[in-house]
Amino acid sequence: MPNYQVTGKNSEGMPVVAVSLASIDQEQQLVSEMTIVNAVRNCLAAVPGVQSVMARKFEQVITTV
């Protein structure tokens, strides 16, 4: 799973709260990773002082030569 950084920003565009998602443990896939990311986005959007929320996806690519 890629890592996600979900950031809530104030009206000036400055970050005020951030959540990092590095893994989701499930016996079998019951919930998609985007459902979890969107739930965190919605949670941060409801925080007083947060005007916008941005989610960034980070993936690591390993190349063996």
- Residue 36 included in any domain: yes
Per-residue model confidence (pLDDT) at position 2:
87
Per-residue model confidence (pLDDT) at position 35:
94
Q: What is the count of structural domains for the chain?
A: 1
pLDDT band at 55 (very low <50, low <70, confident <90, very high): very high
Residue-averaged pLDDT of the chain: 92
Q: Which domain holds residue 50?
A: 3-58
- Residue 64 included in any domain: no
Mean pLDDT of 35-45: 95
Residue 29 has a CB neighbour count (10 Å cut-off) of 8
- Residue 63 included in any domain: no
Full-model pTM: 0.81
- Residue 15 included in any domain: yes
Mean pLDDT of 38-52: 96
